[in-house]
Amino acid sequence: MLFAQIIFYLLAGVAVVSALLVITRRNPVHSAIYLIITLLSVALIYLQLQAEFLAAVQIILYIGGIMVLFLFVIMLVRLDEALRQEQFNRQWFVAGVAVVVLAVELIGVIYLGRDTALGPEAGPEALKALQPNTERIGEALFQTYMLPFEIASLLLLVAMVGAVLMARRRVE
């Protein structure tokens, strides 16, 4: 139990630090790499919580798909011109006030909701019912919700073909 908590806090720390590095790095390629580290640590937290399906979706969809799109955008944007342009980040005071207000709100929510955060403990029956979660998701997805799943996949395919055609027209 103690080892699992140590691993959880270690992964959470890696996720938070790498998420901060995503927004503070000037180089977009470095930001994309730190985003991959963040998403991977979240996937490992899902694995630790025995949510294998969510971990697989996190790795396949976000790290595999979205990050490839981010890297394509980074490669298509002319970084040499963007680095030569004047930066317009002169709103440090407004950003600082926003950070302080959000921090006070977060501390207030944590303080006021500390008693409600502790839910009832799940018994062995509830834990036993949750074990084959990947099988249940697969059965629901491919039996009960087969038609909406296929419609969503067709919509994504049409959107992808449309994006390729729009990008092709701009190049020509």
Between 12-21, 75-84, 152-161, the lowest mean confidence (pLDDT) is in 75-84
Give domain status of residue 59, yes or no. Answer: yes
| Distance in angstroms (rounded) separating the CA atoms of residues 95 and 104 | 14
Looking at residue 84, its pLDDT comes to 64
Give domain status of residue 95, yes or no. Answer: no
Query: What are the b/e assignments for 36-46, b being 16+ CB within 10 Å?
Result: bbbbbbbbbbb
Looking at residue 53, its pLDDT comes to 84
Give domain status of residue 166, yes or no. Answer: yes
Same domain flag for 138 and 72: no
Structurally, the chain folds into a number of domains equal to: 2
Same domain flag for 1 and 79: yes
Give domain status of residue 94, yes or no. Answer: no
Give domain status of residue 107, yes or no. Answer: no
Between 2-11, 13-22, 79-88, 127-136, the lowest mean confidence (pLDDT) is in 79-88
Between 72-81, 103-112, 145-154, the lowest mean confidence (pLDDT) is in 72-81
Same domain flag for 18 and 77: yes
Give domain status of residue 62, yes or no. Answer: yes
Higher pLDDT, 99 or 75: 99
What is the 8-class DSSP label of residue 130? Answer: H
Q: What is the mean pLDDT of residues 15-23?
A: 94
CA distances from 115 to 26, 27, 77, 119, 123 (A): 41, 43, 49, 9, 21
Domain span at 32: 1-83
Task: Check pLDDT > 90 for residue 31.
Answer: no
Give domain status of residue 40, yes or no. Answer: yes
Looking at residue 162, its pLDDT comes to 83
Give domain status of residue 102, yes or no. Answer: no
